[in-house]
Amino acid sequence: MRLLENFVSDISFVDIPSRLIKLLIRNVNADSNNLELIDGLPNKEIANLIGSTRAVVNRHLQKLKRSGAIEISRNHVEIKDLSLLQRLLELQKFRNS
């Protein structure tokens, strides 16, 4: 029930870039900095997980790639800088408040 409540809250009050970054951070293995459950998913499936569309997710993934936080190749997302992702999430929160 709590997961559903959090999902509905995120969909209602959190912007898409923040939802995407939160999804990436939640699925990172702390030891290896590799994505686990969502690695290999197409952008359409990632979009479904955060309540968005494939095109919007692709646009935000490309922005994260240009920032140097991630690397993308054929449905594979590699986290290059986890601390940068966390800082970008904080910046998104600051912008939206």
Domain count, the chain: 1
Going by C-alpha positions, the residue among 33, 37, 41 that lies closest to residue 57 is 41
Does residue 79 contact residue 35 with C-beta atoms inside 8 Å?
yes
- Enumerate residues 6+ apart whose C-beta is below 8 A from 56: 16, 47
Domain with 65 in it = 2-96
Largest CA distance in the chain: 37
pTM of the predicted structure, to 2 decimals? 0.85
What residue has token string 């702390």? Answer: 30
Q: What is the pLDDT of residues 5-52, one digit of tens each?
A: 766 666 655 789 999 999 999 999 978 878 988 999 999 999 999 999
Tell me the CATH number at 17: 1.10.10.10
